[in-house]
Chains A and B, each alone.
Chain A
Amino acid sequence: MTSTTVTPRAATGTAARARHRRLSPGRILLNVFLTATALAWLFPVLWAVYNSFRDYDYTSEHGYVSLGGFTLQNYIHAWEQGEFTRHFLNSLYITVPAVLITLFIASCVAFVVARFSFRFNLVLLGVFTAANLLPQQALLIPLFRLYREIPLPLWMSDSGQLLDSYWGLILINTAFQTGFCTFVLSNYMKALPHEMFEAARVDGAGVPTQFFRITLPLCRPALAALATLQVTWIYNEFYWATVLMQSGDKFPITSSLTNLRGQFFIDYNLLSAGSVVIAIPVLIIFFLLQKQFVAGLTLGSTKG
């Protein structure tokens, strides 16, 4: 069943009775209210989409509360002038490695914490989770300096340092997101049946085998869910992309947004088109993988 709601309760008598009650006036009112609210909720996005298809000449003449003047030009202009190809690629270069590394590292730590009870497990979890919650601005200054001091070979970063390089952003995003993923994965792994590992150990499987051959495959649902979330969050990440990246041509798509605004100063239709284009990747992920998305956020309670 591809319901995207969070795991619904099993159809108990309550649910059955609910179905009978569906046509009560209370229910109708509820549906009406929710529909209205949902549409109002979507309005800003719909408005942006609507205007992105409209010509600036037309709207400046007739005002925005009007109908007509449709065109695709805004999208073409936005793409060219915002140099979206380059920036999307930059986002790709940063997001994909970051997500992969994050998930891998988080799995490692979660594995250790879940499978083996060392005394410092809780401390470790605490260190990781709290790292996820710290305000980024508080870390800016030392990171700046640190990044400037760490040299990178030129094939890894054309600035010669960690600052203003893709790896710099990849690493900081990883460091920040690992906490959340570790937390979720450790909960998930704790719930895996223990007998499997017992059997494996008896068969002489070492830690790598246990990890790669048994744990990771079993964690696939959790990993998928987390991957969805991570791609969204890292793609949307704005702060580090703005302060740790200095060459305009290396900006990922989010921090190039501010450039966009300067240039699309008057033409709001162009701005809408640009915004819609930038939103599209996450929206696609959202619509296709909503179930994963939701599951990722709620994995602590239900075990996937």
Chain B
Amino acid sequence: MSDLPTVPVASKAPTRRRGRRVQATGTDRIFLALMVIIPTALVVGLVWLPAVATVVLSFASWTGVGSLDTIKWIGTQNYVDVFTIYPPFKPALTHNVIWLVFLFVIPTCLGIFLAVLLDRELRATRFYQTAFFLPVVLSLALIGFIWQLIYSRDQGLLNAVLNTQIDWYGDSRWNLWAVLIAAGWKHAGYIMLLYLAGLKGVDPSLREAAAVDGASPVRTFFSVVLPVMRPINIIIIVVTVIEALRAFDIVWVINKGTNGLELISTLVTANVVGEASRIGFGSALATIMLVISLVFITIFLSTVMRGERR
């Protein structure tokens, strides 16, 4: 969970360096070059090149053992297999979509709602913020464990209170929703914080004008605040999508992504890690993830960069 979400609400800094070309001396140029080249090499080498390699490998059949010439190129056969004969794929895709929709509908809206509520001078604001934000600093894997105490079939709180015998983590009818609640618990706090930050940056005069015009708080929010928060809204959408696509940790620690908790990320890992070593096939699945992510990343970048290009 390491993404982007800085909140580029309209920056108030005057644009000062448009079209400015700064002279740099000889040694300075070298330093500048180094300062850029080394980090870029690291990022390109460890992130982008592997990404490209993954796409390339998706057209191959390989066990990963042996040198590169043991790779067999088989065209799009892996993709055909993924879409036609691989039973866990459809459930995984469905679950990812459910994850996305769920995150949007419940935690995101809840986060926004809480942010709006907290955007007042409340005495206990610090306590509320701390409480809601706490899950965000916990890792998803840890969250999976903590909620196990609640969801366990024989020792969980939920069954004790509801007097049921449901294996919340083990029954494929319920486990996705159980996990989603735990993940949403974390996500809502995150969204709340982003939105709160954004709300603080909204010009108060806008609200006062709306109040003067007789608009109710709800109306003010939807007609005045929401449109102004557009950059943040976009960020929140992107964050939610990325988190939904990236979901892995919590599902993996519960049952390695089987039996109702399949996700594309777990399918990739299960096919590659361990003895399975279906490199080409796993790469095809990974490429699918990559493509979907890149769509949203591009949307995000174009929005943000538009803000940069002053």
Contacts and interface: CB of A to CB of B under 8 A. Distances in A.
Direct contact of A and B (CB under 8 A): yes
Interface in A127-173: 127-146, 171-172
B194 interface: yes
A140 B266 CA distance: 12
B146 A300 contact: no
A27 B9 CA distance: 29
A51 B249 CA distance: 24
B163 to A, nearest CB: 11
Given A108-B35, A129-B301, A44 B146 contact: yes
Interface residues of B, number: 122
A287 B127 CA distance: 11
> Which of A5, A183, A271 has its CB near the most chain B CB atoms (within 10 A)?
A5
A125 B306 CA distance: 12
Interface in B118-144: 118, 120-135, 137-142
Interface bracket on A: 35 or more
Query: Which label, helix, strand, loop or mixed, suits the secondary structure of the B interface?
Result: helix
A207 B160 contact: no
Contacts of B264: 137
A174 to B, nearest CB: 7
Interface in A167-214: 171-172, 174-180, 182-184, 187, 190-191, 194, 206-208, 211
B308 to A, nearest CB: 6
Given A44-B185, A275-B146, A179 B43 contact: yes
Interface of A: 3-9, 12, 14-15, 18-19, 22, 30-31, 33-35, 37-39, 41-42, 44-45, 47-48, 51, 59-60, 63-65, 105-106, 108-109, 111-112, 115-117, 122, 124-146, 171-172, 174-180, 182-184, 187, 190-191, 194, 206-208, 211, 232-233, 235-239, 242-243, 254, 257-258, 260-261, 268, 271-272, 274-275, 278-279, 282-283, 285-287, 290, 293-294, 297-303
Given A122-B308, A143-B46, 10 more contacts: A14-B208, A45-B146, A128-B43, A132-B4, A135-B289, A136-B248, A183-B4, A238-B140, A268-B149, A303-B11
